[in-house]
Amino acid sequence: MGLLDGKTAIITGAASPRGLGKATARLFAEHDARVAIVDLDADQAGSAADDLPGSGHIGLAGDVTDRDACDAVAKAVLEAFGRIDILVNNAGITQPLKLMEITPENYDAVTDVSLRGTLYMSQAVIPQMRAQKSGSIVNLSSVSAQRGGGIFGGPHYSAAKAGVLGLTKAMARELAPDGIRSNAICPGFIATDITAGKLTPEMKAQVLAGIPMGRAGEASDVAGCALFLASDLSAYVTGSEVDVNGGSLIH
């Protein structure tokens, strides 16, 4: 029996084949969860759901920056699964811009998806989790929030991901009496579609030199941490930020 047997999970931004969301969805499905993959494109979300182990998974179109769309996703998941046990707020975008290059449009795009999207999607599932007196919310932050950027994301990305940490902790405090946990994951340098092809060999060597474990992370490394935070293994863990960075930031 899997760690998530009988549980249902919503994972946002999980249609990209090599992304953190898809790896998390796959691991959750392997542990017997029923998974709803949410992404901008309904067909891609559906294909990603069909690709998961087991059966009964669904793919839904949803823009996390739209509060009504988030509510519609929660409603659709309730209709399909009857409950909502886990939310992984994975949807996010990054832009490698310097401070003075950040336009209002850049700021809005990055902050809206990472921070506003995490808030809206959480707001959409909390009433059901409160009714159940249980739930686990897992938010994707970044080592960039802790160390002030340094690899890909510009300062607006660092700011959005730092905002996710503050939101995670405030939610943990407020929701704990309802039996709902809220935790964040801070990945370091992970080999995904976002990072593929963006680094010169020299840049990559420099990044790896700063990682004591000497390798880039894999999407599965982040998924394993999400599984821990989603499952009852972490029943007494809330308001935490878990570093998955190979030792590149030890604090």
Domains of the chain, residue spans: 8-244
Which is catalytic among the residues 107, 120, 157, 236?
157
Contact 243, 143 (CB under 8 A): yes
Cβ partners under 8 Å of residue 236, min gap 6: none
pLDDT tens digits for 191-244? 876 666 667 888 888 889 999 999 999 999 999 999 999 999 999 999 999 999
| Fold exhibited by the domain 8-244 | Rossmann fold (3.40.50)
120 as an active site residue: the answer is: no
50: tokens are 């069909």
Mean pLDDT estimate for the chain: 96
Q: In what order do the strands lie in the sheet with 180-187?
A: 58-61, 34-39, 8-12, 86-89, 135-140, 180-187, 241-244
CA distance linking residue 6 with residue 190, whole number of Å: 30
CA–CA distances in Å: residue 13 to residues 55, 59, 173, 204:
20, 11, 26, 26
pLDDT at residue 37 greater than cutoff 90: yes
pLDDT of 193: 62
Residue-wise burial string across 121-137, b where 16 or more C-beta atoms lie within 10 A, e elsewhere: bbebbbebbeeeebbbb
pLDDT tens digits for 104-147? 999 999 999 999 999 999 999 999 999 999 999 999 999 999 99
Cβ partners under 8 Å of residue 217, min gap 6: 187, 188, 189, 190, 191, 244, 245, 246
CA distance linking residue 49 with residue 59, whole number of Å: 5
**Average pLDDT rounded to a whole number, residues 34-41:** 98
pTM for this one? Answer: 0.97
